[in-house]
Every structure is written in C-alpha cells, then in structure tokens.
Amino acid sequence: GENVEQHPSTLSVQEGDSAVIKCTYSDSASNYFPWYKQELGKGPQLIIDIRSNVGEKKDQRIAVTLNKTAKHFSLHITETQPEDSAVYFCAASLLNTGNQFYFGTGTSLTVIP
Amino acid sequence: NAGVTQTPKFQVLKTGQSMTLQCAQDMNHEYMSWYRQDPGMGLRLIHYSVGAGITDQGEVPNGYNVSRSTTEDFPLRLLSAAPSQTSVYFCASGQGNTIYFGEGSWLTVV
C-alpha cells in the first residue's frame, strides 16, 4: 500500500517568515494530494490540494508544489501569522476511488509573534 | 449546517467494556470513514463505507466493527475495549475527492 512520510515533525518560525513542510509518497499511482490543518481540539480541515497533472497551486499565502518524478510534494506558507500555528497533515490518494487517504504523521507548526 | 457530528466527545472505558462512537452527517455524502489519531502516527483509517449497506476495512480494523444502515449514520463499535484503543477518533464524510472531518472523540481505556 501507499506510504506517506512527512518532515519535519515540528517547525518553529518567526512571524512573517516562510514555512515549508515536505512529504514523500511511495505509490506512483497516487494522483491526488490534499493538505489538512488541524487546530487544537478540532478535526482536520482541508486547506489546499493538488492533482498530479499540476506542478504547483497557490491560494493567497499558501502554495503546494508537486514533483511526480521524485514522488514528493511540499506545502509553502509565506508571511506566516500566529493563527497559522497548528498541526499540518499531508495525504495521498487515488482520485475517485472512494476517498481512501493515506496521511503523513503531521507537522506541528508554531509561529512566534 | 451541522456537517459531521460525533458523540461522545470524551469517554473513559474499562478494559473489556463495549461502546459505540456515533457519527452523523447531514451533507448526503456517500462516503464515510473512521480514523484514529495517535501521537507520531498521523491519521490511520479504521473502516470506511462508500454507501448505505457497504462497509470495508481500512489500515487498522482489528477490534472495531461498523455498519451503515443509512446514508447519514456510521457508528463505530468497540466490542471489548483494550488499552491499545486509547486514541482520538475522527469520523469523516465526503463526496468526490474532498473529505470533511468531525470534531473528534477522545477515548481512554483503563
């Protein structure tokens, strides 16, 4: 089955700096890669996703890049703010196969004011 | 719009007891699933369902049962709780390629 690895497990940045979280996947058939943000005591929420036919996608301060050849994808957060502090999970899946996601182990991001 | 609702939020069980975690969604999603979240291990799929009357095992199904009699509800049953089942449990529902998580259920087995 699919194996998703995520690094780093913890990340601290100064407010205004950028944060980068990296994930690798093992199954070359995976073609959908969402990122989830989990705030303390809450369930994960989708923040951005990318499909394998796209190399990069941006949404305001958040961007995701995908390298299919190397089987890795990354989340980039620019101009970080204290409210960005949370746990971030990457995931890999096959489109339209019943939503079976394989999650990374999570990155705890702390933005220091 | 309630989304995905899980009950109870917190539960303490004794080893060997049984209980059911409830999950309901009001978005008419065909897909529902249960994950457990443990420190350093991310979210692992327990069971999932692609529609009423259809369930299947995920990555870590042992010790858990599910059923899907209606589109809205997808309960998770622990028949004989073990300390290894101490975890945070998330129910999710989805349509297409997006899944929505509930707020979680914190379960402690002593």
**3 state DSSP class of A82:** helix
Q: What is the mean pLDDT of chain A?
A: 93
Q: Residues A86, A46: contact at Cβ < 8 Å?
A: no
Q: How much is the average pLDDT of B3-29?
A: 96
Task: Return the pLDDT at A98.
Answer: 59
Tokens of A113: 């004011």
Contacts of B50 in chain A (CB under 8 A): 98
Partner residue opposite A101 with nearest CB, options B4, B99, B100: B99
For A29-75, write each residue's pLDDT tens digit.
899 999 999 999 899 999 999 998 889 999 999 999 999 999 999 99
Distance from CA of A100 to the nearest CA of B (A): 8
**3 state DSSP class of B107:** strand
Partner residue opposite A98 with nearest CB, options B41, B44, B48: B48
Per-residue pLDDT band at A2 (split at 50, 70, 90): confident
Best mutation target among B9, B43, B46 (most A Cβ atoms within 10 Å) is B43
The greatest distance separating any two alpha carbons of chain B, rounded to the nearest whole angstrom, comes to 39
Spatial distance between the Cα atoms of B104 and B60, rounded to a whole number of angstroms: 17
